[in-house]
């Protein structure tokens, strides 16, 4: 069966708590697990009406588990802080070329305009979570809504952000 966005949202809500607990045990952080779940949701949204899925729950588990494994690999291979000046010299410069920097600024401006176009409460939840690092609980208290309400706002924001990024990538 082809997955629709409504089916994906239902699937995500039905297994979110179960998977978040599993991911939190894997990555040893509830916040990171919540981020990985949002990424899993975005990945699932990318499959809307594109391929037949016989076992959607298994697919969700596989995507989330793979994201956790990738996260753990990145953490394990993160370069350690250099103990000496010699070690710091060996680190390559990550400064982009002027053309790349200008293109990045333009893309960021377009993305920020898209975020500004979000409904006010959705934008507020997105900024509190992604920019200021608030937890779902902190956002729910600040906005006087349930944690589930926070998650719904963030899913809407991430869906819109994903659409903006897709459009930007299509223009490249």
What are 68-78's pLDDT values in tens digits?
888 888 877 55
Using the Cα atoms of residue 165, residue 53, residue 19 and residue 76 in order, give the sign of their dihedral: negative
- Stretches in the chain below the pLDDT threshold 70: 1, 77-94, 172
pLDDT of residue 57: 85
pLDDT of residue 84: 46
pLDDT of residue 77: 59
pLDDT of residue 143: 93
Pairwise CA distance, residues 120 & 126, whole Å: 10
pLDDT of residue 80: 46
pLDDT of residue 150: 92
C-alpha dihedral, 123 to 43 to 136 to 127, nearest 10°: -30
Q: Which residue has the tokens 């920097």?
A: 101
pLDDT of residue 71: 86
pLDDT of residue 78: 52
In the chain the domains, ranked by start, together with CATH numbers, are: 5-76 (1.10.1740), 99-171 (1.10.10.10)
pLDDT of residue 81: 45
Please give the model's pTM, rounded to 2 decimal places.
0.47
């Amino acid at each position: 069966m082809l997955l629709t966005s409504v089916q994906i949202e239902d699937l995500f809500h039905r297994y979110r708590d179960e998977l978040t607990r599993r991911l939190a045990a894997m990555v040893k952080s509830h916040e990171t697990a919540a981020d990985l779940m949002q990424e899993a949701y975005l990945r699932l949204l990318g499959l809307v009406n594109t391929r037949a899925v016989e076992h959607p729950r298994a697919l969700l588990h596989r995507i989330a588990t793979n994201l956790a494994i990738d996260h753990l690999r990145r953490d394990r291979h993160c370069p350690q802080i250099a103990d000496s000046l010699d070690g710091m010299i060996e680190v390559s410069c990550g400064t982009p070329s002027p053309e790349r920097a200008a293109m990045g600024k333009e893309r960021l401006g377009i993305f920020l305009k898209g975020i500004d176009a979000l409904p006010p409460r959705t934008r507020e939840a997105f900024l509190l979570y992604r920019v200021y690092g608030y937890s779902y609980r902190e956002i729910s208290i600040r906005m006087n809504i349930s944690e589930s309400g926070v998650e719904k706002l963030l899913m809407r924001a991430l869906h819109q952000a994903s659409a903006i990024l897709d459009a930007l990538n299509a223009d490249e």
